Amino acid sequence: MAALLRDTVSFSKQFNDTFPTIVFSLALCTFPAAISYLFLAHYGNAHKSQKPSALPVPAVESWIPWIGKSVQLMRDPLTFIVESRRKYGPLFEMTTWGSKLIVATDPGMLMSLEHQCKDLNPSTSRVDAFRALTGIHDSERMTEVMGTRIMPVSSKILSPSGTLKSGLMETFNERLMHNFDALTAELKANGPKTMRLSEFISYHLFCASTNSLFGPTFPFDSYPHYAIISSSIQILHSPMANWPFVARKARRARQGMIDALIKYTEDWWHNGGQIEGVSQLVGQSLIIMKEENLSIEEAAGSLLISLWGALFNVSAMTYWLTAQLLVDEKIYTNLREEAVDKHYMEAPLLESAALETLRTGSVPPPTRSVDADAEIVVDGKRYFFQKGSRIISEMSGYHYNPDVYADPHSFKLERFFDESLPRPKPFGEGHHFCRGMHLAKLEIKSFISHALKHFNLRVVGSKELPKLKRAGLIPDVLGSDNITLEVSLRD
């Protein structure tokens, strides 16, 4: 044993002495090969895209293969998209982290592309999202059930008329008032409270939204798990999610959320029990999942996806509107006066503010994958779309177009008093737009109105709007938050 130990120590010393030389030698061999591979891949793809019968989609110039414009997109996504649209037109191609993305920036363009080409597939991006959010690798079956059976049901319930009849807003407001009453009692006992603006918005929206969808037996104490998932979604969506130690906290939170949803459903699932106060939307979804023989883990994962879809965009837009009114005293005063006098459903200034927020805010863009080489006509020109490319419908290029919205970089509270202006379209176009957009808009207005009625909201420190960051294609609201909020009882 002693001899073995000596030999091991001797080998370790020799290895440590020679390790730098080994690494340097490998680098000398590998680096040129890697550069050659990247160059040939880039050159080959560029030439493979050329078709004599069609134009290539205009490509954003980049000298760095694979990485492409990833850094610029993350650092300042709005400026990048707006300037690229101005330079290359409403349709352009870019490379980001090894993926080719075709960016469509005009409303209706994605719908037009879908009508021309049956090989534009929304399922690929959904499967990727399902895997990221649930950790269930074999998620094609879940995606199929959600797309073919649950989405048609949700479309009816979440239509403008269905939203009003479903009772979703009543239960949303009930829980919001419950939370605000508890906060009022805390403020009376302890005085003003300081917190991050994103925390104030995200927690109360989580409680109100889950109550409206899942009823009062939902495990509201699972919020910390959801907050971690929400801020880690891009990591979970990347190959790094499976690396040791990299996404361990996010994976634990994801599993904690799945476990909470399994516990929420298991009595109904196994014993036919009742779920108190469950919405028609979630109730019918659970019935469909059981009919389709999904496991309870897959059902819990599907519910988590529905929860994230219901909350993420609402939280992002509510944060952006609240930030705007906190840094502009005139906006704050005008909206507060209206909130005191009018119901949020009959508040024209709040309606205009919500639309302006949908124009200036940012949500994850709808994505399609190109399943086969295709030639598609755009504005009278025939373009070649290569198999494997992905198309995103990114509306910031349109929302900040000065030919459509004058002085587009200014947040104008009364902009949409002009009914001739086109309404913003952040939630997608075509057959696969976000079904919950009508409910989302009502929830944003309800939250703002009730918060202004109940509390004084004041920024502690610098009154500067955050510069919205983006992790890949997903707006990172929590990572962008630079506003410290003081909440006190209304005067």
**Residues 323, 421 contacting (CB under 8 angstroms):** no
Pairing of strands 91-96, 99-104: antiparallel
Q: Is 434 annotated as a binding residue?
A: yes
Bridge partners of 471?
474
The sign of the CA dihedral 395, 169, 193, 488 is positive
Taking the C-alpha atoms of residue 171 and residue 177, their distance in angstroms, rounded to an integer, is 10
Annotate 242-295 with three-state secondary structure: HCCCCCHHHHHHHHHHHHHHHHHHHHHHHHCCCCCCCCHHHHHHHHHHHHCCCC
**Residues 456, 490 contacting (CB under 8 angstroms):** yes
Which residue from 429, 395, 468, 356 is spatially nearest to 113, judged by alpha carbons?
A: 429
- Tokens encoding 43: 């050159």
Unique residue bearing structure tokens 């005009």: 106
Class of residue 341 by CB neighbours under 10 A (exposed 0-12, middle 13-18, buried 19+): exposed
**Residues 356, 411 contacting (CB under 8 angstroms):** yes
Which residue from 153, 155, 145 is spatially nearest to 289, judged by alpha carbons?
A: 145
What is the three-class DSSP state of 383? strand
Taking the C-alpha atoms of residue 251 and residue 230, their distance in angstroms, rounded to an integer, is 12
Which residue from 438, 457, 454, 488 is spatially nearest to 177, judged by alpha carbons?
A: 454
Taking the C-alpha atoms of residue 132 and residue 116, their distance in angstroms, rounded to an integer, is 31
CA 170 distance to own-chain centroid: 25
Which residue numbers belong to the known binding site for heme? Answer: 434
